[in-house]
């Protein structure tokens, strides 16, 4: 069985977005979030949903004159993405390439970003593994002592790594097991 993208409509789309938001404690549902479901079609025709990729916080590309003497330039074209999954089995090279294709080609983004709590090391390692670069840390953003880690990928980075899924590379983070679970490493006292 191979993973399939499901572009849901109406109530099915709303239910999938609500499910995704419920999996991410800091994310609240709103009707502007766009989502794509990832799943496998079973022999009986039913669908096993594995994950959802949500696109939100989109700023459309526009021309802006920053009044700095350099004239109008493109601004905006940024989209935040979030993933929620019941299984890591969805994260194949082809699927990641297809998901990143949506903001860069369909929405014409110049950049995608993720905002992750510093306590979610698994998600941070996943983002690094697919090529998103660390950009910032927003102190105490989610709660006292839980900082927001902002990672981003520019269109040129996506084109070099993910545009053609045959050339896509996923870096396996150090100290992970084959099933994606982190080994617990004691920190020095």
Stated pTM of the model? 0.77
Contact 112, 78 (CB under 8 A): yes
Per residue in 58-81, pLDDT tens?
A: 776 676 666 766 666 666 788 999
Q: For position 74, what pLDDT does the model report? A: 63
Give the count of alpha carbons within 13 A of 3, CB side only. 22
* Segments making up each domain of the chain, as ranges: 4-167
Mean pLDDT over each residue of the chain, to the nearest integer = 81
Q: How far is CA 136 from CA 65, 133, 157, in A?
A: 26, 9, 18
Calpha distance 64→157 (Å, rounded): 24
Which residues, including other chains, have CB under 8 Å from residue 177's CB and lie 6 or more apart? 183
- Compute φ and ψ for 71, nearest 5 degrees: 80, 180
- Residues 4-167: name the CATH superfamily: Gcn5-related N-acetyltransferase (GNAT) (3.40.630.30)
């Amino acid at each position: 069985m191979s993973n399939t993208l499901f572009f849901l409509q109406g109530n099915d789309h709303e239910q999938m977005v609500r499910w995704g938001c419920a999996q991410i404690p800091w994310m609240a549902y709103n009707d502007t979030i766009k989502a794509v479901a990832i799943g496998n079609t079973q022999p009986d025709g039913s669908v096993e949903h594995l994950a959802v990729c949500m696109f939100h916080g989109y700023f459309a590309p526009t021309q802006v004159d920053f009044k700095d003497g350099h004239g109008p330039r493109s601004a905006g074209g940024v989209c935040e993405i979030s993933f929620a999954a019941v299984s890591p089995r969805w994260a194949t090279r082809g699927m990641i390439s297809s998901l990143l294709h949506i903001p860069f080609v369909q929405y014409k983004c110049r950049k995608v970003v993720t905002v992750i709590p510093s306590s979610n090391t698994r998600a941070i390692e996943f983002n690094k593994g697919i090529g998103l670069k660390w950009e910032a840390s927003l102190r105490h953003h989610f709660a006292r002592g839980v900082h927001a880690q902002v990672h981003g990928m520019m269109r040129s980075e996506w084109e070099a790594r993910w545009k053609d899924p045959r050339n896509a590379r996923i870096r396996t983070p150090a100290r992970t097991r084959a099933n994606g679970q982190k080994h617990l490493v004691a920190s020095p006292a």
